[in-house]
Chains A and B, each alone.
Chain A
Amino acid sequence: MTATTEINKIISKENLVYGKTSVLLDNEMHYCPGCTHGVIHKVIAEVIDEMGIQDKTIGVSPVGCSVLAYNYIDIDWQQAAHGRAPALATATSRLMPEKYVFTYQGDGDLASIGCAEIIHACNRGENIVVFFVNNAIYGMTGGQMAPTTLEGQVTATTPYGRDCKVTGFPMKITEMIAMLPGTRFVTRQSAETPGAVRKLKKAAQKAFENTRENKGLSFIEIVGTCSSGWKLSPVKSNEWMKENMFPYYPLGTLKDE
Chain B
Amino acid sequence: MAKFKGAIVVDTEKCKGCGLCVVACPTKVIELARDVNGKGYHYAHMANADACIGCSSCGLVCPDTVITVYRVKAS
Contacts and interface: CB of A to CB of B under 8 A. Distances in A.
A7 interface: yes
Contacts of A19: 59, 68-69
Contacts, number: 99
B54 A17 contact: yes
B36 interface: no
Interface in B20-75: 20, 22-24, 41, 46, 49-50, 54-57, 59-65, 67-72
- Chain A contact-residue range equals 35 or more
B54 A29 contact: no
Interface residues of B, number: 34
A17 B56 CA distance: 7
Interface stretch (A77-85, A179-187, A213-221, A231-239): A231-239
A17 B19 CA distance: 21
**Which of A9, A194, A238 has most B Cβ within 10 Å?**
A194
Interface string A12-40: 10011111100010001101111111110
A28 B17 CA distance: 14
Given A17-B71, A34-B63, A36-B63, A193 B56 contact: no
A113 interface: no
Query: Which applies to chain B's interface (DSSP): helix, strand, loop or mixed?
Result: mixed
Given A10-B7, A193-B61, A197-B60, A15 B17 contact: no
Interface in A119-175: none
A18 B9 CA distance: 10
A18 to B, nearest CB: 4
Given A18-B67, A33-B18, A238-B20, 20 more contacts: A6-B5, A10-B72, A11-B7, A15-B70, A17-B56, A18-B68, A19-B69, A28-B14, A31-B64, A33-B63, A37-B63, A38-B64, A39-B63, A42-B63, A193-B61, A197-B61, A234-B20, A235-B18, A235-B19, A235-B20
